[in-house]
Structure 1
Amino acid sequence: MKIPLFRGAMVAICVALGAPVALAHDYQVGAIRIDHPWARPTVAGQMTGGGYLQLENRGKTADRLVSVSSTAAERVELHTMKLDGDVMRMRQLDAIELPPGGSVELRPGGDHLMLVGLKAPLELGKSIPLKLTFERAGDVMVEVKVEKAPASTAAAPAAEHADHHKH
């Protein structure tokens, strides 16, 4: 369990000493660790957006991410993207499997969360809530930070969700 007062004190100490500040952006529910939930910014009128994160099953039993919801969108779907010849195909998944001791990265151009029916644009620097539901571990609320794509994913398709409402 994180203690906000302790985190605040550590940030203050790091700032006072001129040290770089790196706050944890991870969550835990049961044996499942959720690391760095993020989304790309969207533009006005864009009705869909993508959500990304790393899932790690630290347990000895398989689990599955079976649903996701958010007050920021009408619904959140689990999706995958795969290259089929020269065409990138996207399809909805029923669940994302998490083998015991395994991890799955939801990232641009691969498995990801599709936020459908955005209620407002995803603005750089803001956060949105997500509720992740795992078959065994249960529910966990996470904050998804809206940020530019990390350098490791910057080359992935940036507009993968721009016209996805036609899917």
Structure 2
Amino acid sequence: MSRPIVLLVLALAACQAAFAAGRLEIAGAWIRTAPPGAMMLAGYATLRNTGDAPLIVTGAGSDAFGDVSLHGSVSVDGVERMQALGEVEIAPGASVVLAPGGKHLMLMRPKGGIEVGESIKIHFATKSGEGVAADFVVHDSAP
């Protein structure tokens, strides 16, 4: 194969790889308030993959908390327990709902007072290296 053809094939492969990517969109983001001094809050949202390839969310973080992690509620011997989720895969066009009683964000060690109506930025990391940040609004109950 000649050098120009090899370069063209490599360029087309790179374009295809760039096109076949997952794209994370975050909607309905909110945080449930907690009593003053609480060291743990929960965050909820809908994570949607608007791309044409699977998307893997590897974690989350925020300057407003000491630690942010993805958790899920699982039933073990009839008892509900929380379990850390390593990664969350979202198929093309699919969504994962973070909601009370299911998958959610654990927001540990708030670095200040969290007030109703406040907006807190949380960043989601993906395996592809592209992350997305969203503003989570604090509410007493589901908006």
After TM superposition, the score normalised by the length of structure 2 is 0.78
Alignment partner for residue 76 of structure 1, among 46, 62, 68? 68
Three-state SS of the structure 2 residue aligned to 1:38 is strand
Aligned 8 A contact 1:32 1:137 in 2: no
AA matched with 1:72? A
Q: Percent identity?
A: 33
Alignment partner, residue 4 of structure 2: none
Three-state SS of the structure 1 residue aligned to 2:131 is strand
Q: Deviations over 1:66-120 (max 9, x none)?
A: 1111111111011000223431111111111111121100011101110111112
Structure of greater Rg = 2
Alignment partner, residue 43 of structure 1: 35
Three-state SS of the structure 2 residue aligned to 1:104 is strand
Alignment partner, residue 141 of structure 2: 149
Q: Which runs of 4+ in 1 moved over 3 A?
A: none
Equivalences for 1:112-131 in 2 at 5 Å? 112-131=104-123
Alignment partner, residue 49 of structure 2: 57
Stretches of structure 2 lacking an aligned partner (at least 5 in a row): 1-21
AA matched with 1:37? A
AA matched with 1:84? V
AA matched with 1:83? S
AA matched with 2:57? L
Aligned 8 A contact 2:72 2:82 in 1: yes
Alignment partner for residue 138 of structure 1, among 130, 136, 139? 130
Alignment partner, residue 94 of structure 1: 86
Aligned 8 A contact 2:32 2:142 in 1: no
Report deviation, 1:64.
Answer: 1.1
Report deviation, 1:47.
Answer: 0.3
For 1:32 and 1:68, locate their aligned partners in 2 and report how far apart those are by CA, in whole Å.
Answer: 13
